[in-house]
Chains A and B, each alone.
Chain A
């Protein structure tokens, strides 16, 4: 029941196990705000069909990591690569490969789910998709057609998330970045969301999810990383985790 510190040798072992190269890859990724390092020399990679759960206390650098992959924040040093391309030098191209589900998926409240999907899918460069396709994709994301035709203003957080997933599907994104997706969801919605996420994994999408939800991390994740002070302090597969108590591991690493 001891947590395993993950060194470079572990990653060297797991990397060849993946059939394809990493979709999301951080090398020595660092972002400083003055003296404070929000992300500090982060090395991390997420491969197709993987769900990588990023754990850690508030301010550990999880959200900044996601923002670095999105190019919303420029790295101080190191690089974030998406599909082999550096985000800093290819801000637009890398976004072709990405889908993003923020903590609160905010959509145009006065438009319907279908209209929102159509807008974002076209922004993503998918051209004008026929209506039937849009409805089918929303269905795949778990949003029934009746709901899809309603204005988004009436949607719950979970329903808005499904539109977010639908955007990812429509876009054919190879990587999915999620920020605290299950916070504020009731247990049922949270469970349904897990199922959706697993569906994405089976499609071969590489998922990077920042979360506080240890239960979902253990349930969904194929790998778990714990961040503290901008550094990855532990990384393990859920298989390695076995019956170990993730909460125990987490708390052990929070001690000074």
Chain B
């Protein structure tokens, strides 16, 4: 019976060209969005490739210089590349890169705002990892990209509403409802068939383009693809359920359209915008700008107290000193101690800031349950690997890497020893470790479960109302 209603609907919609128009429009939008996403992915890949090539060239040049010095074919001039402050400093800086997410072409996400590669050296501190990113026109950042995620989160619901705002009301307005209900079929079955056909067309197009995108970027993570598809399906079903529930109230088509657009506006535009504003009002952040003042205070202070700081540093880090006497300490060691003091004081300010930021983010995390659009964005970006979680994980790993880098070079700095070409092999390398699929699935489970729950509740209300649908009037 369901398939019969679906066939009939397909024929009806095709006959008044609605289906073709919607499918064509949606298809064109999806293709455009995918093309944009793939172009952005290529930009990232090119950038990472040039950064990696640059990194390699720099390292090989340094290695060659060191070998030449060791062979005696060259004499030290300027900064000696064997000095730990040089090799571990800006000249020897190491690239730490985040590869594009498994479905990065489908959702730019935070990728155009948050850095996806850093140069890590002894000069890196907490400040280095909150700053900079890809160059982008702030106007474009503000508006956001036309990618698949945008189409699915914003346009898909509108499209669903366009094809289903008059699911039942049209039948009543054109008078066919009475004849339909004179047949021994429950209204819910007829509505189910209508929804099933529309969902098939709309979701079919969305999923087909997702698969096309996954093929183009040759993703090796089928799990991400499944997660993406499930999220899109649940989100779309929520909107279908809402359309059914509003239709089941038994009002006219124009009323339905108004209410549904109002609901779209509220859930997709207004609630997220209010959540952002409320988060700022409830947990205002201390100013980042204050960190600049703090940093200056700290560094002014540190420069004046270098020797004292070095002594304290030695007390704090006996493992780094390896039996050195204070008076043998070199200029680099003094400078390092000052840098560390600045970093330590900066970290205090930064961690206070991060704590407040975390509170704000937790609040937004709780309040995202108010809007299916926020939930869907969460799930989609996590599936695509361009969400906050993956970027946060990257930053965390880079900061750990920076620590490892220090642990490797600082003893040499303090001892005032040079490195040899043999040591080059042991210099730490960065490699991003992806979140295990299980952990990702567990994290995304919450938004998806809530989305499912919302959909079921709305659908349940809709079905209840349907069973009492006023045929007349």
Q: In the complex, are the beta carbons of B175 and A108 less than 8 A apart?
A: no
Q: In the complex, are the beta carbons of B174 and A120 less than 8 A apart?
A: no
- Distance in angstroms from B209 CB to nearest chain A CB is 29
Interface assignment of B8: CB less than 8 Å from any CB of chain A: yes
Q: Please choose the segment from B107-115, B181-189, B297-305 that sits at the chain A interface, where 4 or more of its residues have CB less than 8 A away.
A: B181-189
Q: In the complex, are the beta carbons of A123 and B180 less than 8 A apart?
A: yes
In the assembled complex, the Cα of A108 lies from the Cα of B15 at a distance in Å of 10
Q: In the complex, are the beta carbons of B184 and A93 less than 8 A apart?
A: yes
Q: Which of B166-202 contact A (CB under 8 A)?
A: 174-176, 178-186, 190
Q: Chain A contacts of B185 at CB under 8 A?
A: 92, 123-125
In the assembled complex, the Cα of A109 lies from the Cα of B176 at a distance in Å of 10
Interface assignment of B316: CB less than 8 Å from any CB of chain A: no
- Distance in angstroms from B84 CB to nearest chain A CB is 80
Q: In the complex, are the beta carbons of A164 and B472 less than 8 A apart?
A: no
Q: In the complex, are the beta carbons of B184 and A106 less than 8 A apart?
A: no
Which of B12, B176, B182 is packed against the most chain A CB atoms within 10 Å? Answer: B182
- Distance in angstroms from A126 CB to nearest chain B CB is 10
Q: Chain A contacts of B184 at CB under 8 A?
A: 92-96, 123-125
- Distance in angstroms from B459 CB to nearest chain A CB is 21
A74 — nearest CB in chain B belongs to which residue?
Answer: B468
In the assembled complex, the Cα of A167 lies from the Cα of B472 at a distance in Å of 21
Interface size on B, residues (CB 8 A): 23
Asked, given contacts A95-B183, A108-B12, A111-B11, whether A123 binds B4 with beta carbons under 8 Å apart, the answer is yes
Q: In the complex, are the beta carbons of A110 and B12 less than 8 A apart?
A: yes
Asked, given contacts A92-B186, A96-B184, whether A107 binds B179 with beta carbons under 8 Å apart, the answer is yes
Q: Chain A contacts of B1 at CB under 8 A?
A: 122-123
Q: Chain B contacts of A111 at CB under 8 A?
A: 11-12, 15
Interface assignment of A155: CB less than 8 Å from any CB of chain B: no
A102 — nearest CB in chain B belongs to which residue?
Answer: B178
Q: Which of A186-235 contact B (CB under 8 A)?
A: none
Interface assignment of A43: CB less than 8 Å from any CB of chain B: no
Contact with A along B335-372 (1 / 0, CB 8 A): 00000000000000000000000000000000000000
Q: In the complex, are the beta carbons of A107 and B4 less than 8 A apart?
A: no
Which of B8, B16, B472 is in CB contact (< 8 Å) with A72?
B472
Contact with B along A94-114 (1 / 0, CB 8 A): 111011101011111111000
- Distance in angstroms from A141 CB to nearest chain B CB is 14
In the assembled complex, the Cα of A124 lies from the Cα of B12 at a distance in Å of 19
- Distance in angstroms from A121 CB to nearest chain B CB is 9
Q: Chain B contacts of A98 at CB under 8 A?
A: 182
Interface assignment of B471: CB less than 8 Å from any CB of chain A: yes
In the assembled complex, the Cα of A41 lies from the Cα of B16 at a distance in Å of 47
B173 — nearest CB in chain A belongs to which residue?
Answer: A106
In the assembled complex, the Cα of A177 lies from the Cα of B1 at a distance in Å of 25
Q: In the complex, are the beta carbons of B175 and A102 less than 8 A apart?
A: yes
B182 — nearest CB in chain A belongs to which residue?
Answer: A100
Q: Chain A contacts of B4 at CB under 8 A?
A: 119, 122-123, 128
Asked, given contacts A95-B183, A120-B183, whether A106 binds B11 with beta carbons under 8 Å apart, the answer is no
Q: In the complex, are the beta carbons of A108 and B176 less than 8 A apart?
A: yes
Which of A108, A115, A124 is packed against the most chain B CB atoms within 10 Å? Answer: A108
Q: Which residues of A contact B (CB under 8 A)?
A: 67, 70, 72-73, 92-96, 98-100, 102, 104-111, 115, 119-120, 122-125, 128, 151, 164, 167, 171, 177
10 A-B residue pairings within 8 Å (CB atoms): A72-B181, A92-B186, A107-B179, A108-B176, A115-B8, A120-B180, A123-B4, A123-B5, A123-B184, A125-B183
The 6 closest A-B pairs by CB, nearest first: A106-B175, A110-B15, A100-B182, A95-B184, A123-B183, A72-B471
Q: Which residues of B contact A (CB under 8 A)?
A: 1, 4-5, 8, 11-12, 15-16, 174-176, 178-186, 190, 471-472
